[in-house]
Amino acid sequence: MDLDSLMRGLGPIQDTMKKAESERAAAQFDGKAGGGAVVIHLKGDLTVSKVTIAPAAAQAATGDPSMLEDLVMVAINDALKQHTARFGASPDEQIQKLMGGSDLASLMGPLMRGLGR
């Protein structure tokens, strides 16, 4: 087995993965609840970058924080649902979305030839 050939065969796959990683890093999702009364800004790496709560929602929650807690939870779940729809939920889904439209056989061909198959 020629290691150089094997590594060259990985090139298209590595390029596709680097592109997907950049896309994920740049992605942002806005999860909303209560008609936009609560907005969660979620980055592609699944970190929350900002939480916006409308003053009216904060005031309405005075004395009943559970209502505001529910709105925050719904907004987070909305943002996570958007992330999952774009990037996939399971590792298998993530690979399928990553390779979406790509001919995996053509990407794997040089790699498999490098292994003597």
Q: What are the residue ranges spanned by the domains of the chain?
A: 28-114
Q: What is the pLDDT of residue 75?
A: 98
* Options 3.30.300.30, 3.30.1310.10, 3.40.50.300, 3.30.450.20; CATH of 28-114: 3.30.1310.10
Q: What is the pLDDT of residue 31?
A: 98
Model pTM above 0.95: no
pLDDT per position in the chain (117 positions), as tens?
Answer: 567 766 666 677 777 778 888 888 899 999 999 999 999 999 999 999 999 999 999 998 888 899 999 999 999 999 999 999 998 888 788 777 777 655 555 555 555 555 555
Q: Which long-range contacts (CB under 8 A, 24 or more apart) does 80-87 make?
A: 80/31, 80/42, 80/46, 81/31, 82/29, 82/31, 82/42, 83/27, 83/29, 83/42, 83/44, 83/46, 86/27, 86/29, 87/24, 87/27, 87/44
Q: What is the pLDDT of residue 18?
A: 83
Q: What is the pLDDT of residue 109?
A: 57
Q: What is the pLDDT of residue 64?
A: 87
Q: What is the pLDDT of residue 4?
A: 73
Q: What is the pLDDT of residue 43?
A: 96
